[in-house]
Structure 1
Amino acid sequence: MDVGGVTWIVAADAVEARIFAERVRAGAVKELEDHRMSATDAERGAGHKQRATVHDRQGHGRHGAGEHTNGDEATRRFLKRVANCVSLAAGRGEFDKLVLMGPPRALGILKDLLPAPVSARLETTDPHERKRDTPDDVRQHLREARARMPAA
C-alpha cells in the first residue's frame, strides 16, 4: 500500500469549493478551512444589467435581450480562482496527489483550467456533488473513487 505523500481532495461546483487533505493514503481526511472558497458577486456576474424580456404576439420571444451572463462563463471565472489556488499550492509542494470531486460540468471545467504539471498529479476524479460532505464522507467517497480506478 502506498502511504507516502499528501493527497488534496478538491470538492467544487460552480459557486463553492472546499479542499481536504489526506496525509496518509486511506487515512483520515481533514478539511483545510483556510482554502474554502465561494464565488464572489463579480464571478457570478452579479451587477451585470439584464435588459427587459421581450415578447411578441407572434413569432419567437426573446428573454433577456442578449445581455445576461452565461452560466458557464460565471462558473469558469470562479473555477479559474480555484485552479490558481491549487496551482500555487502545488508549486509550494503542499501536496503530491490531487483528486477532484464535483458535478460533471464543473469537474470538466476545473480539469481544463489546471496547468499540465498540476494535472499530472491528478490521481482520480469523482463526478458527484461532494461540497456539503463531512470529512468522513469525503474519505469514503475517495476510497470508492480509487476502487473504480483501472488497475495499473
Structure 2
Amino acid sequence: MDTQDHTWIVVADGGKARVFEERERHGDLKELPAWREAHGGEDLSHAHRHAAHSGAGTPKQAAEAEFLQDLAKAIDAAARKKAFDKLVLMAPPKAMGVLRDALKTEAATKLELTDPHDRTHEDARTLKEHLHKLRMPA
C-alpha cells in the first residue's frame, strides 16, 4: 500500500479531539474511534483543581492548555511510529497556537495545513469539503 499521502486530520478544541485519516489524497475521511476514546478529553474538574495551583491563567484556561499539550504529545508519539505521513490541524486560533507550539520536530515536519476554526462538531463529509478548499491553490 502506498502511504505517501496517508494524512491525519486532527480536529480539536480545548477539551476534545477527534482524529480522521485520509488513506489517499482526496479520498474519504474515516474517524479513528479508538483514538478518540483514548484522547477525547479528560475530567476537567481534576484539571481545574490541578490548574488552580499552577498560577497559569484561569483554571479553565490552564486545563485547556494542559489538554492540548497532552494531545500534541500523543500526535508526536504517533508521528514517531509513522502512523501518518502528513498532518492537518483544525482548531480555534488559541488552541491552534498551543498545539503548534507543543508539537515536536517529527510531527511538526509532517504538518501540511492548518485551519484556525472550531470544527469539532462537523462530520467526515463536511471536514473533507473543508480540507479540499484548504488544498486549493490561492
> Aligning the two structures, in what range does the TM-score lie when normalised by the shorter sequence?
0.7 to 0.9
Cα distance, 1:118–1:68 mapped onto 2, change above 3 Å: closer
Question: TM-score, normalised to structure 2's length?
Answer: 0.84
1:83, distance to aligned residue in structure 2 (A):
0.8
> Structure 1: which 5+ runs fail to align?
50-65
Match of 2:43 in 1: 40
Question: TM-score, normalised to structure 1's length?
Answer: 0.77
> Structure 2: which 5+ runs fail to align?
none
Cα distance, 1:43–1:21 mapped onto 2, change above 3 Å: farther
Match of 2:31 in 1: 31
- Which secondary structure does the structure 2 equivalent of 1:100 belong to? strand
Is residue 15 of structure 1 aligned with residue 15 of structure 2?
Answer: yes
Larger radius of gyration: 1
Distance in 1 separating the partners of 2:47 and 2:5: 35
Match of 1:58 in 2: none
Distance in 2 separating the partners of 1:97 and 1:5: 7
Q: What is the aligned residue count?
A: 132
Distance in 2 separating the partners of 1:80 and 1:91: 17
Match of 2:110 in 1: 121
1:5, distance to aligned residue in structure 2 (A):
2.5
* Regions of 4+ moved over 6 Å: none
- Which secondary structure does the structure 2 equivalent of 1:45 belong to? helix
The Cα offsets for residues 24-81 of structure 1, whole Å up to 9 and x where unpaired, read as 00000000011111132256414777xxxxxxxxxxxxxxxx8974443221100111
Identity %, equivalent residues: 37
Cα distance, 1:115–1:67 mapped onto 2, change above 3 Å: closer
Cα distance, 1:101–1:68 mapped onto 2, change above 3 Å: closer
- What root-mean-square deviation, in Å, do the aligned CA atoms of Structure 1 and Structure 2 show? 2.5
Give 1:138-149 correspondences, 5 Å limit.
138-147=127-136
Report which of the two has the higher share of helix. 2
